[in-house]
Amino acid sequence: MPTAWIVLLSLAWVYGDTKVRISQSQLSFTRRTDRTVHIGCKLSGVHLENAIVHWYQQKEGEPLRRILYGSTNNYKQDKPNSRLETDMKDNGNFYLIINNVVKSDEATYYCAYWGIKIFAEGTKLIVTPPDRRLNSDISPKPTIFLPSIAEINLHKAGTYLCLLEKFFPDVIKVSWKEKDSNTILESQQGDTIKINDTYMKFSWLTVTTKSMNKDHKCIVKHENNKRGVDQEILFPSIMNKERKYKAKYENNKRGVDQEILSSSIKEEVAAINNAKEACLKDESDMLQLQFTNTSAYYTYLLLLLKSMIYFAIIAFCLFRRTAVCGNGKSS
């Protein structure tokens, strides 16, 4: 009988603890040196009056270490630091407060609840020099790429690609869902790449045949999103793209047919015009040739007439000379 009670109590403890939730909604905070940052943590499913929250710090390349733990009015530090404190608001919102931040505070901070030893997602603190000037808009700038028709026809699937550029800091979370669903889909994430003073990242989702008729959305969570709201970038369904492509293809085909017909007519008109031009050219050549022949003919007659006149004059002179000479011999 005692064993049965122990089992029942254990089951009740496990069942109760499965309702405990702890989360950190903010991915990152960017602060200049000497500023203050409040890193939030949401705890639910427990009695908040006696809840003890633990805060951990993890610097890049170093192991996780606890820096502070306790309740609202009673907390302890693992290593004394006058710049650290905690606070709690209504509805289970706990805060780690770091005053006068310095470069060495740059790390990822996790809150944890030790009732069942669960950690939240973590929030990264980025510390920038006081003289650094950032652009007014350093939120992610999306560019979408839709699947090609060749990919759809060949693989019976399509790939959506979401490219995000010119954002700061580098902490970003990209997820995919169907337009009217809250279920996060399995997707692929590319590396975050630094370009000058900002970053870029891409993520892609492969959609199978059963989901091709649904719209999808790429959800981007970033510190500098406008009004602090996650970006939801809509990708139209692949079926719609394919239908639009086919309609465009048919329209283009009609346009090509009309263009070919118009081209044929133009070619015929051009051929007729060329023939006319050729005929006119031939006629002009013939007239020119005829004129040349006529001119040559009359020139020949003129020269012949001139020669006949010269022959007559010469013959007359010779005849007269012969007559004069004959009269002299008779005398």
Beta strands at 53-58 and 65-70: parallel, antiparallel or unpaired: antiparallel
User: 98: exposed, middle or buried (C-beta count within 10 Å: 0-12, 13-18, 19+)?
Assistant: buried
Q: State how far the Cα of 116 lies from the Cα of 54, in Å rounded to an integer.
A: 12
Query: How many C-alpha atoms does 25 have within 13 Å on its Cβ side?
Result: 10
Intervals of CATH 2.60.40.10 along the chain:
20-128, 141-236
User: pLDDT at position 281, please?
Assistant: 54
Which amino acid is present at 85?
E
Phi, psi of 71 (to 5 degrees): -95, -170
Sign of CA dihedral 164, 168, 173, 177: negative
Beta strands at 123-128 and 107-113: parallel, antiparallel or unpaired: antiparallel
Which amino acid is present at 160?
Y
DSSP 230: P
Query: Which residues have C-beta within 8 Å of that of residue 252, sequence separation ≥ 6?
Result: none
For 145-195, give the secondary structure using H, E and C: ECCCHHHHHHHCCEEEEEEEEEECCCCEEEEEEECCCCCCCCCEECCCEEE
Please give the span between the terminal C-alpha atoms of the chain, in angstroms, as a whole number: 195
Instruction: Give tens-digit pLDDT for 98-118.
Output: 999 999 999 999 999 987 789
Instruction: Give tens-digit pLDDT for 198-213.
Output: 999 999 999 998 899 9
Topology of domain 141-236, CATH: Immunoglobulin-like (2.60.40)
Q: State how far the Cα of 216 lies from the Cα of 185, in Å rounded to an integer.
A: 10
User: 160: exposed, middle or buried (C-beta count within 10 Å: 0-12, 13-18, 19+)?
Assistant: buried
By the 8 A CB rule, do 144 and 162 touch?
A: yes
User: 243: exposed, middle or buried (C-beta count within 10 Å: 0-12, 13-18, 19+)?
Assistant: exposed
User: 172: exposed, middle or buried (C-beta count within 10 Å: 0-12, 13-18, 19+)?
Assistant: buried
Tell me which of 3.40.50.2300, 2.60.40.420, 2.60.34.10, 2.60.40.10 is the CATH number of domain 20-128. Answer: 2.60.40.10
Q: Which long-range contacts (CB under 8 A, 24 or more apart) does 244-248 make?
A: 245/149
Which contiguous run of DSSP H or E holds residue 301?
helix 238-330
Q: What tokens were used for 18?
A: 């499965």
Nearest one of 252, 216, 218, 212 to 232, comparing CA atoms: 218
| pLDDT values of the chain reduced to their tens digit, one per residue, 331 residues | 443 333 333 333 333 445 889 999 999 999 999 999 999 999 998 888 778 899 999 999 999 999 988 775 566 777 778 899 888 877 889 999 999 999 999 999 999 998 778 999 999 999 999 888 878 899 999 999 999 888 888 988 999 999 999 999 999 999 999 999 999 999 999 999 999 999 999 999 999 988 999 999 999 999 999 999 999 999 999 887 656 655 555 555 555 444 544 555 456 546 545 655 554 455 455 545 555 556 565 666 666 777 778 777 887 777 777 665 555 545 4
Residue tagged 């003073």 (tokens): 197
Name 39's bridge partners.
96
